[in-house]
Structure 1
């Protein structure tokens, strides 16, 4: 979907992204060196560059540090229960297909309690844009091991080092059927903004993983320095490989980070498939949906029970 109605920047704005934020809620709660604010800056610039109609953009987020994004964005938003951002977003999209629905949450929320929702939304190719800020830990609750925490990392619940394998998020999204899959770090701000703009103009289930530092917990426990050290680390070990097989993009504690756009394919989204099925089944009795709402039929569907 191409968003055509341009945003207007008030003449008195001190910063181009200011109209996209709830300035009365500043300063934000994120720690010094945290990368979540950087991702928000990239997202607001993507909204600006895509000329999005802000009345048709909604943000849904779950629980955790990244979940607070919904409260700072000057958009219609839902701050949902833990792990349920995607189900809420799905309902929002089905109730009003004209909306551009963005899920903005963290790795713990999306891939632990929310993991099942993620894979099925990708399988269905639900028209959602999922931005996952991956700091490799449960940051808000004290730095526990998450499904994304690499092997040998020290955390609050793994004082001798993580020994479990972690998820490769881009491979998971690819295998589940996502239409768009990319990974960047908070060092790659221009590339990240460009990817965010691309997904705002693409149909289907789109996934962007953003590696972000957590200096307060993850880096301190693992003696990896502060936020600036994280930027230096990302710069040194990141390698751009567009189109790389996602199975080769797993993360380790200190090894190479493969970034880039890995998947960009076109396939019918959930609503397109639903409408085609209803039309094939009901023929002339089927009525196309109105601007907001699910498809409806002019006649009741006979019960086969």
Structure 2
């Protein structure tokens, strides 16, 4: 009897008009391959919310290269193009130049963007290519079992830095957004996170702002999102989000790094 009452109450509460959060139409109703607690799925959701809210589902093209997000095209109900490892910005350049009226974005991890694809990303930024780069920075190589990335912070343990990253022999962590921000072709660089509800909301606003700047033809936009990797950090999802907050964010501070100048 009590169970039946609860079912009735639940049916009365869970109605479309009462929902605060729902799956956006541009996000396919399928299971994702990401590890439990991974930030990729959150970024997918909020970005597809932006696409839906801006009404551009049929006017946006994404590029998914090699990495954890290699199967992003299975989850986003939009036009997507695969790219060779590190070549997402080169592919996006061709798409945007051939179809300048379309919104174009790449979705890249720290290995694809800053290591094997560092050259492509840097020169696309320097040329001022008018598209958005979504950069997921979890400070490790997720797909290949946790090797050190360009963004791995000092002392962080990975499979290729088992005693922690040592700048004397392994170099320093690369803040890619700060690196490209001074370039004249770069319009917008921001660093956000998805480890808390408040940060998720801010990240969503940043993604929308970047697409609006693209619509205005202002140039290269990069939205870096500091995320977690529970599996390769050997942590629970909760522990990994705390690590983002207490360890990564102090090194990779959140906020706008470069915004377009307002023309008077």
Q: Same fold (TM over 0.5)?
A: yes
For 1:60-139, list aligned pairs within 5 A. 60-139=63-142
Q: How many residues align?
A: 232
Q: Aligned ranges for residues 81-230 of structure 1 at < 5 Å?
A: 81-163=84-166, 164-177=171-184, 178-187=186-195, 188-202=199-213, 203=217, 204-217=219-232, 219-220=233-234, 225-230=235-240
Q: 1:142 to 1:263 in 2, by over 3 A?
A: same
Q: Deviations over 1:219-273 (max 9, x none)?
A: 21xxxx32212333444x4xxxxxxxxxxxxxx7684541011211259xxxxxx
Q: Give the superposed CA RMSD.
A: 2.0
CA distance in structure 1 between the aligned counterparts of 2:202 and 2:70, rounded to whole angstroms: 23
Contact 2:65-2:86 at 8 Å conserved across structures:
yes
Contact (CA 8 Å) 2:63, 2:92: kept in 1 or not?
yes
Look up the match of 1:22: 28
Structure-1 residue corresponding to 2:8:
none
Relative distance call for 1:119 and 1:71 in structure 2 (3 A) is: same
Rounded to whole Å, the distance in 1 between the matches of 2:244 and 2:110 is 18
Instruction: Determine helix, strand or coil for the equivalent of 1:158.
Output: coil
Structure of higher CA gyration radius: 1
Contact 1:58 1:101 in 2 (8 A): yes
Does the 8 Å CA contact 1:151/1:253 hold for their aligned counterparts? no
Question: TM-score, normalising length from structure 2?
Answer: 0.82
Structure 1: runs of 5+ lacking an equivalent? 1-10, 238-251, 268-305
Q: Counterparts of 1:182 and 1:36 in 2: how far apart (Å)?
A: 18
Unaligned runs of 5+ in 2: 1-15
More helix as a share of residues: 2
TM-score (norm 1): 0.71
